[in-house]
Amino acid sequence: MTHGIKIATIGGGSSYTPELIEGFIKRYDELPVSEIWLVDIEAGKEKLEIVGALAKRMIAKADLPINVILTLDRRAALKDADFVTTQFRVGQLDARAKDERIPLNYQTIGQETNGPGGLFKGLRTIPVILAICEEMLELCPEAWLVNFTNPAGMVTEAVLRYSKLKKVVGLCNGPIGIEKGIADVLEVAQERLYVEFTGLNHMVFAKGIYLDGQDVTEQVMNLMTTDAGKTVSLKNIEELGWQPEFLKKLGMVPIGYLRYYYQTSLMLAEQQLAAKTEGTRAEVVKRVEHELFELYKDEQLDTKPPQLEQRGGAYYSEAACNLICSIYTDKRDIQTVNTRNNGAIADIDPDSAVEVNCVITKQGPIPLVTGPLPVPIKGLVQQIKSFERTAAEAAVTGDYQTALLAMTINPLVPSDSDAKAMLDDLLQAHGEYLPQFNQ
């Protein structure tokens, strides 16, 4: 890497790109990026040009020798890249809106990662990711694939099982958010905490919390369940509050997405209401994105606008740039990422993707052991893992029965007949993005 670091960002026209650019600018001293290739497809060209121009202004302002290249030629971008990041969205937000709305017709939460909507996002995304892996093995075999694209757990699972590419990490800003939230609850600096995570992407739990080496897990659970109601949450999940006695006995801080599973009926009601009022999450985001791009067009703008954080991507840059930086500098710090289990969680298949604390070395993340899943969550976590594995298989094979099996075993889906109906509707709606099912 003596040539300076080359980054290729697939889905470079995303509204998140300024986050990423800011991250690279901040870390330039230890992470001397020389080239950032922002790649997108024809349909995303306009956005790519807008956000690309902003990226260039940001770098110009920082006065750094980083070259930003905008391209529709993925192979050129991948050629000799050191790190490939993915933040693309097959079918864009309109597809996500369908993933959310169609299940609502069946009194079912869509949920774009671990729900029926996530199944379809996976079916659209995984073939593209696997194609990128193939190209990477040819064009930049030493590069790391840093995947942000949701469903990040299912995508990482698919790469681990169906690609020869070994250098893959799946990323989520969830664990960082939980850790920051816990620091807020305790009113301490985050640096004094050690938080042990276990689980899967969007199905992760803070199972042990240490402040200056002391186990304060119970104290945090107590603080989270007082009347004052300090809760740890992600901005893009509604704060509904947990039943205090439930949370105390659970003894772990669940990521906000767990509300889909432990508060299914409430979340469904919320989403049904939203669909009738401000729109589904995709529709809201679409408006936010539109506003963001309007801001981005401003040729005076040369920094990341604060409105971006409300988009839900807080800490995304932190997660991605920290990871890349730690790999590049062999920093050996601890980050929570999606990687091959290898026994870190004792009762999950060693070859599966899990979201756990890892030491980030130059040869990649090495998971820290976290033992067996606690009894109360053993089943639900395994259920999502079963779903991810079956969904990944369906994405690769294009087999209808496998897709139906994945849909039916998803814990949000009310019955096999609803599963079939939703599957058929969604296959119909997304046909153009699912060539493997049309053969």
- Is residue 310 near its own copies by the rule CB under 8 A? no
Please select the residue that binds its own copies; options are 102, 404, 429, 434, rule is CB under 8 A.
Answer: 404
Binding mask 91-130 for its own copies (x = CB under 8 A): ----------------x-----------------------
- Is residue 280 near its own copies by the rule CB under 8 A? no
Tokens of 306: 């604060």
Let me know the angle formed at the C-alpha of 193 by 191 and 198, rounded to the nearest 5 degrees: 125
Nearer to its own copies by Cβ, of 41 and 359: the residue is: 359
Please select the residue that binds its own copies; options are 48, 77, 90, 377, rule is CB under 8 A.
Answer: 377
Nearer to its own copies by Cβ, of 48 and 434: the residue is: 434
- Is 150 marked as a binding-site residue? yes
Cβ 360 to its own copies shortest distance, Å: 11
Q: Are 130 and 162 in contact (CB under 8 A)?
A: yes
What is the C-alpha separation between 439 and 429, in angstroms, rounded? Answer: 16
Cis amide leading into 151 (omega within 30)? yes
Closest CA to 118 of 155, 148, 147: 155
- Is residue 250 near its own copies by the rule CB under 8 A? yes
Phi/psi class of residue 197: alpha, beta or left (left: φ > 0; alpha: ψ in -120 to 50)? beta
Cβ 96 to its own copies shortest distance, Å: 25
- Is residue 273 near its own copies by the rule CB under 8 A? no
- Is residue 346 near its own copies by the rule CB under 8 A? yes
φ, ψ of residue 147 in degrees (nearest 5): -100, 120
Please select the residue that binds its own copies; options are 71, 190, 222, 382, rule is CB under 8 A.
Answer: 382
φ, ψ of residue 356 in degrees (nearest 5): -140, 170
- Is 332 marked as a binding-site residue? no
**Three-state SS for 200?**
strand
- Is 96 marked as a binding-site residue? yes
Please select the residue that binds its own copies; options are 34, 303, 386, 436, rule is CB under 8 A.
Answer: 386
What is the C-alpha separation between 295 and 40, in angstroms, rounded? Answer: 20
Q: State yes or no: is 328 an active-site residue.
A: no
- Catalytic-labelled residue, pool 257, 315, 316, 433: 257
Please select the residue that binds its own copies; options are 94, 218, 239, 416, rule is CB under 8 A.
Answer: 416
Q: Interaction with its own copies in 229-248: which residues (CB under 8 A)?
A: 242-243, 245-246, 248
Tokens of 384: 């999502």
Chain centroid to Cα 390, Å, comes to 19
What is the DSSP secondary structure assignment for residue 2, as one 8-state letter? T
Nearer to its own copies by Cβ, of 228 and 375: the residue is: 375
Q: Are 341 and 367 in contact (CB under 8 A)?
A: yes
Tokens 């606008």 locate to 305
- Is residue 437 near its own copies by the rule CB under 8 A? no
- Is residue 30 near its own copies by the rule CB under 8 A? no
Q: How many CB atoms lie within 10 A of CB 357?
A: 20
Binding residues: 96, 150, 172, 202
Q: Which residues have a catalytic role annotated?
A: 257
